[in-house]
Amino acid sequence: MLGPALLAASRSPRVRSLVSTSRVSRGLVDRFVAGESASDAVAAVRALTERGLAVTIDHLGEDTTERAQAEATRDAYTALLGRLSDEGLAGSAEVSLKLSALGQALSGGGSSFALENARVICAAARDAGTTVTLDMEDHTTVESTLAILRTLRADFPWVGAVVQSCLYRTEADVRDLAHPGSRVRLVKGAYREPRTVAHTSKAEVDSAYRRCLAVLFAQGAYPMVATHDQSMIEAATRLAAHHGRSGDDYELQMLYGIRTAEQERQVGMGRRVRVYLPYGSDWYGYFMRRLAERPANVAFFLRGLVSR
Ligand SMILES: Cc1cc2nc3c(=O)[nH]c(=O)nc-3n(C[C@H](O)[C@H](O)[C@H](O)COP(=O)(O)OP(=O)(O)OC[C@H]3O[C@@H](n4cnc5c(N)ncnc54)[C@H](O)[C@@H]3O)c2cc1C
């Protein structure tokens, strides 16, 4: 129960201020976030690729409230893509975008504005020789995000989708998205969702994850299996063997700083593993979701806060 409570509390400005300014946060943030600058991100990408890992980079930021902020995010992505290309890293590092950071929720045409910003980033990714994946946020954004995905794919067919097995709608979305050449990241879902739209028990979310995986492999999509759950990883590798997929015909994805030994073990077995690498100063929302996923992380963090 700690996870949902923490996600709810994280919306309080007082909690935000306490967590953002605490020195206790810093140590734990460093475990999940690669640093604040593009140079920090590039250095982390280099270190990961030297260990045989691929990367998808997230410039942290969400819930943008001003157009200028969204444009700054867009420009940070295009500059980062230029650097990845210059430093010979674009072959193994792509970027992940949150459309809310590109202005999706702004009134008066936020969706079109986010689409245009995403289009600029996709063009920069194409020029750099890499790809883009659109992260999925809470259920209220799914329809708009999938509409933007469809529009972008007309020009950039390699844009990756993300679907969340916790949502009831996702199995139908997966059937639509799972065609050959379609890059689809399957996650369980990191947002606190009402039971009117989402499974609430872990068992139901896990069963839905397995069903979605089966469809992605069977219908010929390129599955991006994003999970730290060993039983889901094993289900994916069994499906890959069943469908005759080689190690580069699908990929496993895990978050930066989580199960790093397993990331390397999978690479050692010839599988493609991509690490989701966040960087930037706006780490609060991302950090709180990682805490909420694991009671041990929260307990460690709270002990540090109260003992100061
Ligand atoms: C590459 C990647 C991209 C993602 N993109 C999105 C997205 O666009 N939208 C979205 O809603 N969600 C996204 N997520 C988050 C996802 O939805 C889950 O919230 C998260 O992955 C935890 O679920 P799990 O599949 O690892 O399984 P769980 O059942 O939550 O965890 C399985 C095991 O993994 C380990 N573990 C999981 N989380 C943590 C943690 N924070 N700290 C330490 N250990 C942990 C624990 O050992 C745990 O027992 C992404 C996840 C990954 C890996």
74, 153, 185, 290: the catalytic one is 185
Q: For 11-23, what is each residue's pLDDT tens digit?
A: 888 778 777 777 7
* Maximum Cα–Cα distance across the chain: 55
- Pocket lining: 297 vs ligand 1, CB cutoff 6 Å: yes
Q: Is pLDDT at 105 greater than 90 in this prediction?
A: yes
Give the span between the Cα atoms of 83 and 75, in whole angstroms: 12
Average pLDDT over residues 92-107: 96
Q: Which CATH class is domain 37-282?
A: alpha beta
Q: Which of 14-23, 97-106, 226-235 has the lowest mean pLDDT?
A: 14-23
Q: For 30-66, what is each residue's pLDDT tens digit?
A: 889 999 999 999 999 999 999 999 999 999 987 799 9
> Which of 161, 143, 147 has its CA nearest to residue 221?
161
Q: Known catalytic residue: 185? A: yes
Q: Where are the domains of the chain?
A: 1-33+292-308, 37-282
- Pocket lining: 226 vs ligand 1, CB cutoff 6 Å: yes
Quick check: 291 and 297 in contact, CB under 8 A?
A: yes
Helices in the chain by DSSP H: which ranges? 2-9, 13-21, 23-32, 38-50, 67-86, 110-128, 142-155, 170-177, 202-218, 230-242, 260-268, 284-293, 295-306
Q: For a substitution probing ligand 1, which of 228, 232, 300 has the most ligand atoms within 8 Å of its CB?
A: 228
Q: If you compute the radius of gyration of the chain from its CA atoms, what whole number of angstroms results? A: 18
- Pocket lining: 280 vs ligand 1, CB cutoff 6 Å: no
| pTM assigned to the model | 0.93
Q: How far is the CA of 228 from the centre of ligand 1 (A)?
A: 6
Residue 194: burial class (beta carbons within 10 Å; 0-12, 13-18, 19+) = exposed
58, 74, 135, 274: the catalytic one is 135
> Which of 37, 27, 22 has its CA nearest to residue 279?
37
